[in-house]
């Protein structure tokens, strides 16, 4: 049976880094899931079944972490010993805080009907392009071992990712399925 690797990247035979080959990640995940899927061990002893469940759970967590750009960024920082769960005031640029408030106010003030679609599209595009730039900056900071800058960018990635989710919620409220 498969064993747990040192880190999520080595589990999927990927180089440690922010930019990853998502197709390769998906292929490796499917191959490994076939090996450790608990159904394969239904007739095995309790110890093997429990091991298969643990490995399957570990693979799912590793896959979801590496698949998500935000979770992958946090994981990479944790691998470097950086605590990303603790946010210090110095981590947040006052301009970023002001922009967060402005964007959230803009979103909150939009009408909850079709007349808001153009503005929602603009907000989504703007947040998406900024998120892409910050991801590139994060990858660069990490490559240069500038962990303090990478940590600050991670917190900005968190905000932008959450803001995109908030935009999607407003859209869903306008056009429920």
Location of each CATH 1.10.287.110 domain in the chain: 8-67
Cβ atoms of 139 and 155 within 8 Å: the answer is no
- pTM for the model stands at 0.89
Q: Is the pLDDT of residue 43 over 80?
A: no
pLDDT single digits (tens) 119-137 = 999 999 999 999 999 999 9
**At what angle are helices 69-79 and 46-67 packed, to 10 degrees?**
110
- Tell me which DSSP letter residue 91 carries: G
Q: CATH number for the 8-67 domain, one of 1.20.1050.140, 1.10.287.110, 1.10.3720.10, 2.60.40.10? A: 1.10.287.110
* Structural fold of domain 89-174: Monooxygenase (1.20.1280)
pLDDT single digits (tens) 59-69 = 999 999 999 99
Location of each CATH 1.20.1280.20 domain in the chain: 89-174
């Amino acid at each position: 049976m498969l064993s747990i690797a040192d880190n999520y990247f080595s589990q999927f035979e990927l180089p440690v880094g922010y930019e990853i080959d998502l197709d390769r990640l998906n292929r490796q995940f499917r191959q490994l899931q076939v090996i450790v899927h608990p159904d394969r061990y239904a007739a095995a002893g309790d110890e093997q079944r429990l091991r298969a469940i643990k490995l399957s759970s570990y693979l799912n967590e590793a896959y979801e972490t590496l698949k998500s750009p935000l979770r992958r960024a946090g994981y990479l920082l944790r691998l470097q010993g950086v605590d990303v769960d603790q946010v210090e005031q110095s981590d947040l640029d006052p301009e970023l805080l002001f922009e967060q408030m402005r964007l959230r106010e803009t979103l909150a003030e939009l009408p909850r009907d079709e007349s808001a679609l153009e503005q929602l599209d603009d907000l989504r595009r703007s947040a998406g392009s900024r998120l892409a730039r910050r991801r590139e900056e994060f990858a660069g900071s990490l490559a240069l071992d500038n962990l303090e800058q990478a940590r600050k960018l991670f917190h900005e990635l968190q905000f932008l990712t959450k803001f995109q989710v908030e935009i999607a919620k407003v859209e869903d409220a306008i056009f429920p399925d």
